[in-house]
Structure 1
Amino acid sequence: MTNTNVLYQHGTLALLVPGLLDGTLPMKELLAHGDTGIGTGEGLDGELIILDGVPYQVDGKGNVNIVKDSFMLPFANSHFASYQELVDVNDIKRDNLQKLIDEKTASANTFYSVIIKGTFKNMKTRAVQKSTKPYDTLAITAEKQSIFDRETVDGTLLSYYSPQIFDGAAVGGFHSHFMSDSHDFGGHILEFTSVSGTVSFQQFDSLEQHLPTHSESYMKHDFSNEDILGAIHDAES
């Protein structure tokens, strides 16, 4: 029996900051911990979104690919979906949507996931182009991103919310990826103006944090001089 109260996370956003971008977990193992999730590939190879057990990758050229079990990841989240409908919205602005979710969930101090299925206006996403060793820092690598946009698009927004006290391990607040219903557009969400559709919610009472202890570069790195939060917030915005 699957545990739907647990959010599984491999790696941390902090380890990406200095450029520790080696893939340290195969997709097959990530899927053993959930049928829903987000992440990135080795070398920040695109943006991943897992829906109904299918791992989609939006690569640096905007192509949507279904990745193999052997696809390696330095950072990812997954969980087993058990969403409850929260609210229907009609052409709600993004800022107002986030305020509504905050009010409806009352869960600022725990992890949760939101999934929104509907029609989005002026959706803008990004995907980072894969880099190779020797890896640059997160800030430099993230500059090599491609921007994609659609004036109107039907699809699914998948977001994970992390409490501010975990900022660094994840990004405090919402981390959101998108996939169109036609599976030809998606990525890490930069912005959208409004959405009409159904908002659903799933809360977690446990975080299973998995660290790449078999990675020598991770185990030996000194993070004390890194501007972790500044780099994460710049890259995720």
Structure 2
Amino acid sequence: MSNSNTLYQHGTLALLVPGLLDGTITMKELLSHGDTGIGTGEGLDGELIILDGTPYQVDSKGNVNLIDSNFTLPFANSHFADYAEMLEVEDISRDELKQQITDASQSNNTFYSVKVTGTFKNMKTRAVKKCGQPYKSLAETAENQSIFTRDEVQGTLLSYYSPQIFDGAAVGGFHSHFMSDEHDFGGHILEFDSVTGVVSFQQFDSLEQHLPTDNKAYMQHDFSQDNILDAIHDAEG
């Protein structure tokens, strides 16, 4: 039986910083831990969002692709959806949305997921172009990103909130991806002006952190030489 109180995370955002971008989990394995999630492919191959058990990839050309079970990822989150409606919002900014969620959840010190369905204005997303070996650092790879915009779009914002004490393993705060209802636009959210819609909330009391111990590059890397937090905040903010 699935446990909706557990957030599953494969890899860490920290391992992306020096360019440890090998795909170390398959989509098939990731989906065994949840029907909802976000992530990126090997070599930072686009931005992924899993909704209702279906994995979508937004590639660097803006195409939305369905991902097969053999697709591999260096980093991903997934969980079994069991959301409860939290609040309805009307034409509020992204900062206002974050504040309302923070105030309503009272959950700053644990992990949770937020799903926002509705109409978004001036949505700006990004996806990174896949790179091959030898991999470059996260900062270098993220420079080769494509930006996509929509003046108005209906869709789903899927976000994971991580406590500040886990900054580095994940993004302290919100990490948000988007998919349009038409499945023709999405990516990692950079910004949007406003949203009108429904906010749903799911809190976790457990984090299942899975590390790629079979990956030699990861196991031998010295993270003490990396400026992890600045690199993550610059790339994922």
TM-score of Structure 1 vs Structure 2, range by shorter chain? over 0.9
**2:103 is matched with which residue?**
103
The total of aligned residue pairs comes to 237
Q: How many percent identity over aligned positions?
A: 75
> In 2, Cα distance between the equivalents of 1:220 and 1:57?
30
**1:51 is matched with which residue?**
51
1:19 match: secondary structure: coil
How far off is 1:138 after superposition?
0.3
1:98-177 superposed matches below 5 A: 98-177=98-177
**2:182 is matched with which residue?**
182
Amino acid at match of 1:39: G
> In 2, Cα distance between the equivalents of 1:27 and 1:94?
30
Gaps of at least 5 residues in structure 1 are: none
- What TM-score does the superposition give when structure 1 sets the normalisation length? 1.00
> In 2, Cα distance between the equivalents of 1:218 and 1:90?
45
1:187 match: secondary structure: strand
**2:85 is matched with which residue?**
85
**1:15 is matched with which residue?**
15
2:34 corresponds to 1:66? no
How far off is 1:224 after superposition?
0.6
How far off is 1:123 after superposition?
0.1
> Residues 83-118 of structure 1, C-alpha deviation per residue, up to 9 Å, x if partnerless?
000001111111111110000000000000000000
> In 1, Cα distance between the equivalents of 2:2 and 2:211?
22
Q: Which runs of 4+ in 1 moved over 3 A?
A: none
Amino acid at match of 2:137: T
**1:5 is matched with which residue?**
5
> In 2, Cα distance between the equivalents of 1:2 and 1:33?
8
- What TM-score does the superposition give when structure 2 sets the normalisation length? 1.00
> In 2, Cα distance between the equivalents of 1:22 and 1:96?
37
How far off is 1:216 after superposition?
0.3
Amino acid at match of 1:228: I
Amino acid at match of 2:100: L
> In 1, Cα distance between the equivalents of 2:96 and 2:41?
32
1:224 match: secondary structure: helix
**2:208 is matched with which residue?**
208
**2:220 is matched with which residue?**
220
> In 1, Cα distance between the equivalents of 2:84 and 2:58?
27
1:146 match: secondary structure: strand
2:224 match: secondary structure: coil
Amino acid at match of 2:123: M
**2:40 is matched with which residue?**
40
> In 1, Cα distance between the equivalents of 2:65 and 2:52?
15
Gaps of at least 5 residues in structure 2 are: none
> In 2, Cα distance between the equivalents of 1:232 and 1:197?
29
> Residues 148-182 of structure 1, C-alpha deviation per residue, up to 9 Å, x if partnerless?
00000000000000000000000000000000000
> Residues 173-226 of structure 1, C-alpha deviation per residue, up to 9 Å, x if partnerless?
000000000000000000001000000000000000000000000000001110
> In 2, Cα distance between the equivalents of 1:111 and 1:24?
23
**1:198 is matched with which residue?**
198
